[in-house]
Amino acid sequence: MASICTNPECDYTKRHGVIQNAALEFCPNCGRRLQKVADVAAITPVSRGRRFGAYFIDFCIAFLLVLVGTIPIVGLIITPIIALYWLLRDINGASPGKSLLGLAIVSRGGGRSTTMQRILRNLPFAIMVLPLLIPYIGLTDYPIQLFVILVEALMVILTRERIGDKLAGTMVVSHDVAQAQYAPVSA
């Protein structure tokens, strides 16, 4: 049986992950009685296939925005919109693609992810489109985008974690796993 500290002012769970010591009743940091949560032993990153599927859906949305950007005038404001889209796609806990495939973002080692973490993990994707804002230089940005996407894809294949995940300390898990983790355990 695992437990977490639910004191919003205490960062013990954030720093140490879910507490696996069943004998521990109170938070070693703030002293609050710990909240029992469903066993998190089963928490592992989701399969690469599901992650790529979710990413592909998110990518298609970005591609639609690029197409909208070919409309004169709209094109001038589309780059900041695309950058914001990448940056904020996980703001509610899961991007559109992740929601559709039942995925959610948690803190590495268990624990709810913070808004800051959900933004930070997408920094590489947001940064890669920003050079498009510079006239003429913009065209040279496509190789940069391809590079970032390839590196992040390779990271998922090899380590199951994007650079963005390492940066933010996040993990992509099944939505039901994320839910179960916080469902209070009766008995």
CB 97 within 8 A of CB 85: no
Nearest distance from residue 180's CB to Zn ion, in Å? 21
Nearer to Zn ion, 2 or 78 (CB): 2
Nearer to Zn ion, 32 or 108 (CB): 32
Classified as helix, coil or strand, 167 is helix
Nearest distance from residue 16's CB to Zn ion, in Å? 10
Nearer to Zn ion, 3 or 117 (CB): 3
113 vs 121: CA distance, rounded Å: 11
Nearest distance from residue 163's CB to Zn ion, in Å? 30
What type of residue sits at position 136? Y
108 vs 94: CA distance, rounded Å: 15
164 vs 51: CA distance, rounded Å: 14
Q: What are phi and psi of 59, to 5 degrees?
A: -65, -40
Nearer to Zn ion, 7 or 99 (CB): 7
* Site residues, Zn ion (CB under 5 A): 5, 7, 10, 12, 27, 29-30
Nearest distance from residue 10's CB to Zn ion, in Å? 3
